[in-house]
Structure 1
Amino acid sequence: MSAIDDRARRIRDAEGTLDSLREALALAGITLPSLRLHPSTWSDDTGAALVDLGPCNLDTAQQIAAAVRKATA
């Protein structure tokens, strides 16, 4: 597999993961307006795909904490 193919696969996988996270958060009534792929995902040299959750207000942080607690209970 070429480096270009590998990067394209990594970006597709990252976009799928981002969509999955956005959908799961929506099911819990949570919206992260700044949720995105980190720009380094498109870099040739890092090899890492990163999801940037971005900043959120205290209410959203509390919703996330409650959802995690519920999921782990």
Structure 2
Amino acid sequence: MAQVVRSGERLRAAEEVIARLRGELAAASVTLPSLRVDVVSLASETPCPLVDLGRCTLETAARLADALGAVER
């Protein structure tokens, strides 16, 4: 039962991070339509969710690069 709870917590954490990332990207006018939890990473006995950024158009990739370049380092 403890394994199921931890798995659920990890999935919720991944979904929260994805929602946060989606919001930050939207604020920078970038949409990654395939942004999601990688379902294959959930298939193991001890799931370790990975974030799948997915595929995007060249225009979207350029907007993402511009947004990252605008971040003060």
Distance 2:46 2:3 in 1: 12
Match of 1:60 in 2: 60
Contact between 1:40 and 1:46, CA under 8 Å: does it hold in 2? no
Contact between 2:37 and 2:51, CA under 8 Å: does it hold in 1? yes
For the aligned residue pairs, the C-alpha RMSD in angstroms reads 1.6
Give unmatched runs, 5+ long, in structure 2.
none
Give unmatched runs, 5+ long, in structure 1.
none
Normalising by structure 2, report the TM-score: 0.88
Normalising by structure 1, report the TM-score: 0.88
Contact between 1:35 and 1:52, CA under 8 Å: does it hold in 2? yes
Match of 2:27 in 1: 27
Number of residue equivalences? 73
- Structure 1 stretches of 4+ moved >4 Å: none
